[in-house]
């Protein structure tokens, strides 16, 4: 294994120096890295030759950025007025610089450790408040992946609530966005739900209907009052979901006024660039009665130990792993960073500014409608918000002329080529100006051989333009957070104040097992802000997105090489979506062979909580498989269940290395046994960071694998999203992959659309492209090796103090290790959560707690952490063990000790009175080097139970939290 990486990017990505590597290797009784890796990775799967020779050679940042710039320049930027859920918007520069491009925001983890996550929790709380204020519905979540998947979640909730054996029909507005319809159809099929397009003016309702979906405004731009339709649907005890455009909702009455059950939509036009389709935050709001069925995450307000208000993730977060296959949904379906950007966009503009933007769109569109009528176009008469559809004879000529002048209009019918166009549609957005309107009109005038004469002053009144629907009357967004930060100085200070309350990779190591919090290099993220990637509409003509085509093809090829699979789909925009997509591929493969009955999914008890939830969503019945003392699959139990369910076996879902942190030595045999019984092997790629360059799932027997680009391939977690979860599949499954090039691709075997956009979260693909391009084969191989080396060093160093729960027979772990604290709890009463909170006082984010085994800590250091930081973490854990020893020996009281009362805030430590049995110094500065570099938790321990019993997910006094 070559380690000569001098002068390349890998030198900056990898945290361990050559000297540190040798010191660790000697402590583990190995003479070199190759020898060590050979002792960890089973020989039968370890690549001894170079399977990655087709990858490009490594390069430095400048070379990679130059190469990627050439790719980006193949994209052609035109002004897209296509609409359909994707709009031009202006990201305020201070939000781009201080949030989107700020590592304090984008390198943080999902806020499971709430005491050191108050900043992003408050920003997400602001987002939820924005959505409840917009829609008038009392419960909103902290975002979903995109509008299509939010619609699918609404369908699932409606289906679960109806609970009527005959109710399997979901009615969908014929004006639905086409990509939303396709996602709905994909999600409905495995659950045997019937999706039926309907004309809302001629509804036929009975007890077979469990829900109705309305697009408002529809793809034709029409705004109308849905009250009577909603009344009809409620009469058959079905639920109504409305996909509401947030800019239109600024003007019209809140959805709650119409008695809507669920309101969903995309917050993209609140300051997030189109980015060829994503990532963007979707929103989901509903009535109080459905709060426990709400998908995704909800930020709720609770109290800390001192009685101060504090925020944390509520309800679904803790229920996910408890409920497994009965979970409401996958909680890993969030776009936290994008929701945060949208919340700051709303703060930046405030209610007056948002009203101004929305009003401008409406008025300019009406002005365009007037001119088009004067030019002789026939326009259907109804109220519209941002879109005009026009059917005409010379449509092909119109589209060609507009593209020549730098504009993309939507081709009607949607998806047709220009030559076959029957009409055009124009959608206005925040970027539309009077000047642009006149440009458009001059082009139309030329085409129609008319003279364009602007009207000096057009008498336009919102009440007259939207007379068919009630408008917003009551004041909204009155919380001071949306009204006091309108100067740049104050908003920057607010943003930085929230950032200072969050622990991220900026502050130190985040040693989370199974989550791989590695370096997200600035050079990797820089291209995401390039206009050639960020400003493209996902439905532009193919010739305008050649750069994205080349980028995605290269990335797919590289991922195929790295995994040993034949084909890759980049569409799934989260790991959970990758799981769902991979399982659908397997399901469709069985179906193509006439084996629809193969619906059993075997899942080890150690599996991710998302695995069983995804399996149920894909139409499988989950059967658990036991694990042995080493954390491996209990082979005897597996064989028994394979034989029992042989005729119905669909798949085995397995995480490799296992969630228990070990390489199962008989993985090939396991795959062989599954295939023997007619099943397929789905490999959860959450732990691929231990395999890249060392072994390839496609070569040791797996059929499908999802990859977390937001873990292994350096896309940052963003405080809980964005992510990308592409799937790689064996040759016989390639034709079953999600639709790829555009929404009109037809493939009898494809699983359909998993996400709204054909390339999912396309705008962040450059991050992983940059990582692979700069690292090269040797760098990637060494990254995996050092991740495993660091984990084994931690396990070895901490084993005298904590029991390492699972190891291979030779004593090795994979890239993560699990510390067992259950015996400590039985002796002292100190729980794993106490250790997690105490680590905050030491300046660390806790490892993964109580998963996959209750009462344990799962630690993953990653290859990016230095020897100094790893030792600092080990020193903290050893010091905490000594504190536990004091309790064990009776030297300090169980209820009055640094662990039980952790974490310690500055307010507590600096209070005039101190009534604890240990010193203030021990509370706040347990390690000497903290005196000069201290991260303070902003609240003390939070009462989760109180918060769940008294759920508050938005607040009229949210600004009070920022004063604590």
Instruction: Count CB atoms within 10 A of the CB of residue 66.
Output: 10
Q: What is the per-residue pLDDT for 946? A: 84
Global pTM reads 0.96
Q: Are 844 and 509 in contact (CB under 8 A)?
A: yes
Percent of residues, the chain, with pLDDT higher than 70? 96
Q: What is the pLDDT of residues 852-869, one digit of tens each?
A: 889 999 999 999 999 999
CA distances from 427 to 175, 403, 424, 533 (A): 15, 15, 10, 21
CA dist., res. 294 & res. 292, Å (int): 6
Edge-to-edge, what's the strand order for the sheet holding 856-859? 803-804, 817-820, 856-859, 848-849
Model confidence band, residue 960 (pLDDT cutoffs 50, 70, 90)? very low
CA dist., res. 466 & res. 884, Å (int): 67
CA dist., res. 707 & res. 568, Å (int): 10
Q: Are 650 and 601 in contact (CB under 8 A)?
A: yes
Instruction: Count CB atoms within 10 A of the CB of residue 612.
Output: 25
CA dist., res. 832 & res. 853, Å (int): 11
- In the 8-state DSSP scheme, what is residue 235? T
pLDDT at 958 over 70: no
H-type helices in 751-905, by residue range? Answer: 765-798, 822-828, 832-841, 867-888
pLDDT at 577 over 50: yes
Terminus-to-terminus CA distance in the chain, angstroms? 53
E-strand ranges in 162-308 read 169-173, 194-198, 209-216, 239-244, 262-266, 282-286, 298-303
Q: Residue range 694-709: average pLDDT?
A: 96
Instruction: Count CB atoms within 10 A of the CB of residue 162.
Output: 20
Q: What is the pLDDT of residues 704-757, one digit of tens each?
A: 999 999 999 999 999 999 999 999 999 999 999 997 645 445 557 899 999 999
Q: What is the per-residue pLDDT for 950? A: 80
pLDDT at 431 over 90: yes
Q: What is the pLDDT of residues 343-400, one digit of tens each?
A: 999 999 999 999 999 999 999 999 999 999 999 999 999 999 999 999 999 999 999 9
Quote the tokens at residue 759. Answer: 């390339």
Among 277, 271, 253, 245, residue whose Cα is nearest residue 340: 271
pLDDT at 39 over 90: yes
Q: What is the pLDDT of residues 497-508, one digit of tens each?
A: 999 999 999 999
Q: Are 318 and 297 in contact (CB under 8 A)?
A: no
Angle at 233 between CA 752 and CA 143, to 5 degrees: 50
Q: Residue range 811-822: average pLDDT?
A: 96
Residues in Cβ contact with 6 at an 8 Å cutoff, skipping those fewer than 6 apart: none
Q: What is the per-residue pLDDT for 762? A: 98
Q: Are 635 and 671 in contact (CB under 8 A)?
A: no
pLDDT at 325 over 90: no
CA dist., res. 254 & res. 132, Å (int): 9
Instruction: Count CB atoms within 10 A of the CB of residue 603.
Output: 25
Q: What is the pLDDT of residues 438-461, one digit of tens each?
A: 999 999 999 999 999 998 877 788
Angle at 512 between CA 620 and CA 280, to 5 degrees: 65
Among 347, 443, 416, residue whose Cα is nearest residue 129: 347
pLDDT at 323 over 70: no
Q: What is the per-residue pLDDT for 963? A: 42
The full DSSP string for 781-808 is: HHHHHHHHHHHHHHHHHHTTTSEE----
Q: Are 287 and 139 in contact (CB under 8 A)?
A: yes
The neighbouring-strand residues paired with 312 are 300
Question: What's the gap between Cα 802 and its chain centre?
Answer: 34
pLDDT at 956 over 60: no
Q: What is the pLDDT of residues 116-125, one digit of tens each?
A: 999 999 999 9
CA dist., res. 460 & res. 367, Å (int): 8
Q: What is the per-residue pLDDT for 957? A: 43
Task: Report the chain's C-alpha Rg in angstroms.
Answer: 28
Question: What's the gap between Cα 137 and its chain centre?
Answer: 24
Q: Are 726 and 707 in contact (CB under 8 A)?
A: yes
CA dist., res. 777 & res. 2, Å (int): 10
Q: What is the pLDDT of residues 902-914, one digit of tens each?
A: 999 999 999 999 9
Q: What is the pLDDT of residues 778-803, one digit of tens each?
A: 999 999 999 999 999 999 999 999 99
Helix/strand/coil for 222 = strand
Q: What is the mean pLDDT of the chain?
A: 93
Query: Computed from CA positions of residues 440, 441, 443, 447, in that sequence, does the dihedral angle turn out positive or negative?
Result: positive
- In the 8-state DSSP scheme, what is residue 252? B
Reported as half-sphere exposure (CB side, CA atoms, 13 A), residue 229 has a value of: 23
Helix H or strand E segment including 622: strand 621-625
């Amino acid at each position: 294994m070559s380690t000569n990486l001098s002068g390349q990017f890998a030198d900056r990505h990898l945290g361990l120096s050559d000297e540190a590597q040798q010191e660790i290797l000697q402590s583990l009784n190995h003479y070199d890295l190759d020898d060590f890796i050979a002792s960890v990775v089973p020989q039968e799967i370890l690549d001894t030759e170079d399977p990655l020779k087709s990858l490009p050679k490594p390069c430095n940042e400048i070379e990679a950025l130059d190469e990627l710039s050439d790719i980006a320049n193949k994209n052609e930027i035109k002004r897209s007025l296509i609409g359909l859920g994707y709009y031009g918007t202006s990201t305020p520069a201070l939000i781009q610089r201080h949030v989107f491009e700020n590592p304090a925001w984008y390198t943080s983890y999902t806020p499971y450790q709430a005491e050191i996550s108050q900043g992003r929790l408050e920003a997400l709380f602001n987002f939820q408040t924005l959505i409840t204020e917009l829609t008038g519905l009392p419960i909103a979540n902290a975002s979903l992946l995109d509008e299509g998947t939010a619609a699918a979640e609404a369908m699932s909730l409606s289906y679960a609530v109806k609970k009527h054996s005959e109710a399997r029909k979901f009615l969908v507005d014929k004006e639905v966005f086409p990509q939303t319809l396709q996602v709905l159809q994909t999600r409905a099929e495995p659950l045997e739900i019937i999706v039926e397009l309907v004309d809302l003016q001629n509804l036929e309702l009975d007890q077979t209907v469990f829900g109705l979906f309305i697009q408002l405004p529809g793809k034709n731009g029409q705004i109308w009052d849905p009250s009577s339709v909603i009344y009809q649907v409620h009469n058959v005890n079905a639920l109504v979901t409305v996909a509401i455009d947030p800019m239109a909702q600024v003007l019209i009455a809140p959805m709650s006024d119409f008695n809507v059950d669920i309101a969903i939509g995309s917050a993209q036009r609140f300051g997030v660039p189109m980015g060829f389709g994503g990532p963007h935050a979707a929103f989901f709001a509903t009535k109080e009665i459905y709060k426990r069925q709400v998908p995704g995450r909800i930020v709720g307000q609770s109290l800390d130990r001192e009685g101060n208000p504090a925020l944390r993730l509520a309800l679904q977060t803790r229920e996910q792993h408890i409920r497994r296959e009965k979970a409401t949904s996958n909680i890993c379906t969030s776009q936290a960073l994008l929701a945060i950007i949208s919340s700051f966009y709303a703060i930046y503009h405030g209610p007056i500014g948002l009203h101004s933007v929305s009003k401008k769109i409406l008025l300019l569109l009406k002005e365009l409608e007037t001119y088009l009528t004067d030019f002789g176009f026939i326009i259907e008469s109804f109220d519209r918000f941002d879109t005009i559809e026009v059917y005409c004879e010379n449509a092909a000529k119109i589209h060609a002329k507009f593209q020549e002048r730098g504009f993309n209009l939507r081709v009607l019918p949607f998806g047709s080529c220009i030559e076959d166009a029957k009409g055009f549609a124009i959608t206005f957005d925040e970027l539309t100006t009077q000047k642009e309107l006149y440009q458009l009109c001059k082009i139309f005038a030329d085409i129609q051989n008319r003279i364009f004469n602007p009207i000096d002053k057009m008498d336009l009144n919102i009440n007259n333009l939207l007379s068919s629907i009630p408008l917003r009357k009551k004041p909204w967004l009155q919380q001071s957070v949306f009204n006091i930060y309108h100067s740049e100085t104050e908003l920057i200070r607010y943003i930085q104040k929230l950032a200072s309350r969050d622990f991220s990779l900026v502050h130190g190591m985040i040693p989370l097992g199974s989550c791989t919090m590695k370096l997200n290099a600035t050079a990797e993220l820089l291209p995401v802000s390039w206009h050639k990637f960020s400003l493209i509409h996902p439905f532009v003509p193919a010739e305008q997105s050649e750069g994205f085509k080349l980028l995605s093809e290269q990335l797919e090829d590289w991922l195929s090489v790295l995994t040993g699979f034949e084909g890759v789909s980049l569409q799934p925009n989260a790991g959970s979506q990758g799981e769902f997509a991979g399982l659908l591929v397997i399901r469709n493969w069985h179906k193509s062979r006439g084996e629809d009955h193969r619906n059993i999914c075997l899942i080890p008890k150690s599996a991710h909580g998302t695995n069983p939830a995804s399996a149920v969503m894909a139409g499988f019945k989950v059967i658990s498989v036991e694990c042995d003392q080493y954390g491996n699959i209990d082979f005897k139990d597996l064989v028994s269940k394979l034989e029992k369910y042989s005729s119905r076996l669909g798949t085995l879902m397995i995480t490799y290395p296992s969630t228990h942190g070990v390489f199962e030595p008989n993985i090939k045999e396991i795959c062989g046994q599954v295939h023997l019984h007619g099943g397929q092997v789905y490999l959860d790629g959450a732990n691929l960071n231990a395999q890249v360059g060392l072994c390839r799932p496609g070569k040791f027997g797996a059929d499908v694998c999802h990859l977390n680009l937001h873990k292994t391939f350096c896309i940052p977690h963003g405080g809980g999203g964005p992510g990308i979860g592409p799937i790689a599949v064996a040759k016989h499954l390639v034709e079953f992959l999600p639709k790829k090039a555009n929404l009109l691709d037809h493939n009898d075997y494809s699983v359909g659309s998993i996400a709204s956009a054909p390339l999912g979260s396309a705008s962040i693909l450059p991050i992983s492209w940059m990582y692979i391009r700069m690292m090269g084969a040797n760098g990637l191989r060494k990254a995996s090796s050092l991740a495993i080396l660091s984990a084994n060093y931690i396990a070895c160093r901490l084993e005298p103090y904590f029991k390492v729960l699972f190891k291979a027979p030779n004593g090795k772990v994979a890239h993560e290790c699990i510390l067992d604290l259950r015996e400590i709890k039985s002796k002292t009463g100190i729980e794993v959560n106490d250790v997690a909170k105490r680590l905050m006082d030491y300046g660390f984010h806790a490892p993964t707690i109580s998963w996959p085994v209750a009462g344990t800590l799962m630690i993953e250091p990653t290859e990016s952490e230095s020897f100094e930081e790893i030792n600092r973490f080990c020193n903290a854990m050893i010091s905490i063990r000594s504190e536990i020893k004091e309790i064990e020996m009776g030297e300090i009281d169980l209820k009055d000790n640094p662990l039980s009362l952790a974490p310690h805030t500055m307010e507590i430590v600096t209070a005039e009175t101190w009534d604890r049995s240990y010193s203030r110094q021990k509370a706040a500065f347990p390690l000497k080097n903290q005196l000069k570099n201290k991260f303070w938790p902003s609240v003390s321990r939070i009462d989760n139970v109180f918060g769940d019993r008294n759920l508050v997910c938005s607040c009229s006094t949210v600004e009070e939290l920022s004063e604590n």
